Every structure is written in C-alpha cells, then in structure tokens.
Amino acid sequence: MSKMFTRKSRLITIEIAIKTDYDSDDYVKWFNDLDMCVQKVAWKPQKWFIYFDPLPSKDTNTTLLKLCKMIRALPPAIRKAWDQAAHREFYAGYEVGDEPFCFTEHLSVETLKAAIALNAGIGFALYPAQPTNQDGFSKEQLRCKP
C-alpha cells in the first residue's frame, strides 16, 4: 500500500544572521562549539555575512523568544560581535503548501520587544512545500532511510 503525500505548510528554520565589518572569529567559534554549524562568507557592503540555524521549537514565537534569551546571555566578548554588527536579523523560513488552508503564526508583543531590545529585525522566507507523507518525510528522505 503506497503512502499518500501532501504539501503541508510548516516552519522549517529560523536563522540568526549578522552582517559585520568587525572581527567575529570568537562569535563563530562560540556557536560552532555548540554544534550550530555557522557559515561565515565574504559579503558586500559589509566584510562578513554570518548565519546559522539552530533547531526551531514548536513555533516561530517560542523559537524567537529562546534565541533572544540566548543572545542576551552571551558572554560579553562573544556578544560584542552581535552588538557591533551593522545588520542583525532573525530569519524565519517556511514551506508553504496546500494544507492547512490557512496556516497562521503570531509574534507576541513580548517577542517583538525582545528582538527590538537586541536591535534585531525579523525576516520571513517562504519556500514551496515539498510533498511529504503523514510522518513528514519527503520521497527523497524515504529513499535515503536505512
């Protein structure tokens, strides 16, 4: 019996991104040591674009609150890279599909204030949803499963 595949809307990632001209090696090392897999690439007009995507929580609001708390708690030497960056942003990525008919998420005032206190923006990226089975696996993922 073949499993039915659907295209569901869902949160897939929230990235932390900064663009900076300042030294950021300690910042990158800090998060890499936490297994965050940080990417640091040359960028214009700033010198560096640094981003990584920690695993999201159940929704965007909860994840953003946790990420803001994490940034606020950084040691001063690590936090300096965040504070000196010309651009600071949390980027929520979604797959947008056919189900549910109306997919909604809400950011609380508390979350917005937490991002503003960090001088960070919140961006959204929408991607076409890939067909998945009822367990959330795509055909490609099922081919690779042991």
pLDDT per residue as tens digits for the range 66-99 = 999 999 999 999 999 999 999 999 999 888 888 7
Look at residue 42 and tell me if it is in a domain.
yes
Q: Work out the pLDDT band at 145, boundaries 50, 70, 90.
A: low
Domain of 33, in residue numbers: 10-144
Q: Are 18 and 82 in contact (CB under 8 A)?
A: yes
Look at residue 3 and tell me if it is in a domain.
no
Q: Work out the pLDDT band at 119, boundaries 50, 70, 90.
A: very high
Asked if the model's pLDDT at residue 105 lies above 80, the reply is yes
Rounded Cα gap, residues 76 and 45, in angstroms: 26
pLDDT averaged over the chain? 87
Total count of residues recorded for the chain: 146
User: Which residues are CB-contacts of 11 (< 8 A; sequence separation ≥ 6)?
Assistant: 56, 59, 60, 63, 92, 93, 94, 105
Look at residue 137 and tell me if it is in a domain.
yes
Number of folded domains that form the chain? 1
User: Which residues are CB-contacts of 146 (< 8 A; sequence separation ≥ 6)?
Assistant: none
pLDDT of residue 101: 83
- Nearest one of 127, 123, 122, 72 to 103, comparing CA atoms: 127
Rounded Cα gap, residues 95 and 130, in angstroms: 8
Look at residue 62 and tell me if it is in a domain.
yes
Q: Which pTM does this prediction carry?
A: 0.80
